[in-house]
Structure 1
């Protein structure tokens, strides 16, 4: 039987969370604040008995301190996913064989799963932007180094290359036609022609940062500008980028209005899109972050925080499902 208070987070180990940066951390603490009982598991804890999806789960507790931390309060035990009011897929990438298998298991959860597993499989974070051609920079996909050289010339001698399954700013490279190491760079980017690579128009505005916009139910709830560290190409917080306040512009809202209906249709409840110079560059559906940075920059607390708005929408969804 489903317990309306119990929610399950599929996530990395709680001791790995940065209590001042991770969005999953504040999602869980907000659940506790609202009187819900959060449980956690990881990918290896998932399984199936016949048609029933199960997981080895443990309750998550908040330990006071400076900083506070989350821990598993008890040893894990098996429970059916259908016993939880909601299952929140918050496992960080990579999207690999284990991740995709987990989404197949979640297809059998028998309860609300967010983000929806079908959408997690379908919406590659680098390629799904191509559904919105008028909003995105010139983008190509190839694993042929000769073709990538041709694309580079077409793009004026500078382009960004990044792996289709990349995450957290890893392996993002700037290719230049005048670089004597260009051949080696393209060989590395494509793993010597065995891996598809995204080749994307270089946007000079990237030097000023890229904007992470958080959407819930396809509607924007907040944004933060990620500014690269000195001498660094990448803007990601994992790569040393710093957060700066950044209000939503009319162009940002137009992008959200275009992308939002697709996200809702695909069951992608919580999403982070990246915008550089008014261009949509990524649609992050796996485990987007940015909540805590927005809270601090905007001085948000209580019911105005990003995690509170997340839970307001989730509880509305649960209430509608129970009606």
Structure 2
């Protein structure tokens, strides 16, 4: 794997995948939120060939660096017709291949940074020389396996008693600073929304080989399933505050551990997204109070762009 030229001077970057314009407002507001919180590191948009010209123009108008990547998809993958979003998720494995950077923190475009989290750029992980054989291959937050919406196509063992976050209900203060040990439940499943990675050709080759194995047909959650399976017991669990899945805040899910003032990075998983719940004037109409947080940031961004002479483009 030849080292490519970096699209930014920094050797440590945030990245986010973008394949279409449906998530573009999310990406732009994510970038704004990182800058608002004073991050020292740039966000790089990882785009695939399907990303349209108007999307490129929007990124260029705002000075957001972008880098082309290949669209990843296993040749014998699972049918995700019940959840088509997972087809795109395989490409979120790409940061492991970006060896032109020392550290990559992959973020989903439906995230909002509420506090500076540059410490993720400095946390200790295995070096590339270990080739995926150490105990700190990458860092991530846990998936919530409670299935609060009772989606019928989710695995039958996705129930609250198997969820790592349930183990912290009696110690909410610890939950703000420490991720549950993956061994506390039988699944040990990570969420792919935020991944802290030291890129490595050897690790990426392991990932590609596993993606093309017969195991791919049973990977219900694409990249998340692959990483949880391939590196079981070898990833660093982060506290929920770095990948604060919006459903954790709900009553009867994990409200016991949630603290609004501790959350560093909000993750608007599932539909609808905050940008789907705005009126024609850009005001929040969602009943979810966390959606109002995103709308406020988005409106701040749009006002600043107008002040700076960036032409309104609908994103």
| TM-score normalised according to structure 1 size | 0.29
- Radius of gyration: which is bigger? 1
Q: Which has the higher contact order (CA 8 A, sep 6+)?
A: 2
| TM-score normalised according to structure 2 size | 0.30
Q: More strand by proportion, 1 or 2?
A: 1
